């Protein structure tokens, strides 16, 4: 009887351990799935590598979205900013803009530059990645170093800057617009200001609306 009781106790102990193990396995599986989804968010975005030789502007306002995600928060910020103002959007990740110093025959910097040339108003939007601008935007402005300055093709164009992040540091909020003022100055563009969050967005938007009315 005593032996039977002990065997029964052991059986229930093992059952308990097995059940706990199973629960943990399921939980880990779920966690892994959700973190995989998060990790893969960027890679599940379908990139449409630009096949055209030219970016045909239909309007005079250009939004250059330098995010990883064409439907992400930078895109939403751009949409809100423009409101009803007709504009063209160039999603930079669809273009092969190689690093400054890299010379590959399929480089598409000139197409992006050409779009900028056609616009009167250029709005550049970036997410904050690692306390700074997106790599795409950094590469784009690095590549602009190849242009003459001031650049007769860019002179007089209005430049607006949009940035947003989860919780950008004070340094980031200072530094990014500063860089953009320097870019504008170098190429003779008129710097119209920056919006760094949803509070600043309507203020800058007012400036835009005044310019296009």
Binds ligand FMN (CB under 6 A): choice among 45, 60, 72, 207: 72
As given in the structure block, the two tokens for residue 83 are 């409101």
**Position 130 contacts ligand FMN (CB under 6 A):** yes
Query: Cα angle vertex 143, ends 131, 59, to 5°?
Result: 90
**CB under 6 A: which stretch of 4-12, 26-34, 126-134, 188-196 binds ligand FMN?**
126-134
Output the smallest distance, CB 75 to ligand FMN, in A.
6
Report 156-185 residues binding ligand FMN (CB under 6 A). Answer: 164-168
**Position 74 contacts ligand FMN (CB under 6 A):** yes
- Containing H/E element for 79? helix 73-82
Binds ligand FMN (CB under 6 A): choice among 60, 80, 94, 129: 129
Beta-strand pair 158-164/121-127 = parallel
Q: What are φ and ψ of residue 180, in 5° steps? A: -70, -30
**CB under 6 A: which stretch of 2-10, 99-107, 128-136, 185-193 binds ligand FMN?**
128-136
Binds ligand FMN (CB under 6 A): choice among 91, 92, 121, 127: 127
Q: What does the CA dihedral 123, 71, 109, 58 come to, rounded to 10 degrees?
A: -60
Compute the half-sphere exposure of residue 208: CA atoms within 13 Å on the CB side of its CA.
Answer: 30
Cα separation of 87 and 73, whole Å?
A: 18
- Containing H/E element for 184? helix 170-187
Output the smallest distance, CB 76 to ligand FMN, in A.
8
**Position 78 contacts ligand FMN (CB under 6 A):** no
**CB under 6 A: which stretch of 78-86, 92-100, 125-133, 188-196 binds ligand FMN?**
125-133
Report 12-71 residues binding ligand FMN (CB under 6 A). Answer: 67-69
Binds ligand FMN (CB under 6 A): choice among 59, 73, 118, 207: 73
Q: How many residues bind ligand FMN (CB under 6 A)?
A: 16
Cα separation of 133 and 128, whole Å?
A: 5
Compute the half-sphere exposure of residue 56: CA atoms within 13 Å on the CB side of its CA.
Answer: 3
Residues that bind ligand FMN (CB under 6 A): 67-69, 72-74, 127-131, 164-168
């Amino acid at each position: 009887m005593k032996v039977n009781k002990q065997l029964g106790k052991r059986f229930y102990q093992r059952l308990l351990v097995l059940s706990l193990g199973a629960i943990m396995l399921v939980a880990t599986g779920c966690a892994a799935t959700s973190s995989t989804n998060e990790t893969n968010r960027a890679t599940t975005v379908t990139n449409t590598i630009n096949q055209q030789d030219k970016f045909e502007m239909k309007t005079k306002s250009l939004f250059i979205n330098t995010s990883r995600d064409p439907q992400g928060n930078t895109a939403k910020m751009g949409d809100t900013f423009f409101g009803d103002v007709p504009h063209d959007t160039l999603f930079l990740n669809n273009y092969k803009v190689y690093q400054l110093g890299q010379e590959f025959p399929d480089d598409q910097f000139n197409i992006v530059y050409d779009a900028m040339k056609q616009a009167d108003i250029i709005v550049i939007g970036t997410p904050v990645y690692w306390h700074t601008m997106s790599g795409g935007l950094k590469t784009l402005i690095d590549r602009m170093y190849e242009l003459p300055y001031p650049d007769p093709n860019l002179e007089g164009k209005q430049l607006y800057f949009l940035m947003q992040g989860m919780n950008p540091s004070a340094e980031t909020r200072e530094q990014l617009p500063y860089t953009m003022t320097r870019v504008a100055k170098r190429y003779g563009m008129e710097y119209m200001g920056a919006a760094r969050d949803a509070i600043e967005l309507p203020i800058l938007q007012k400036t835009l609306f005044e310019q296009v009315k």
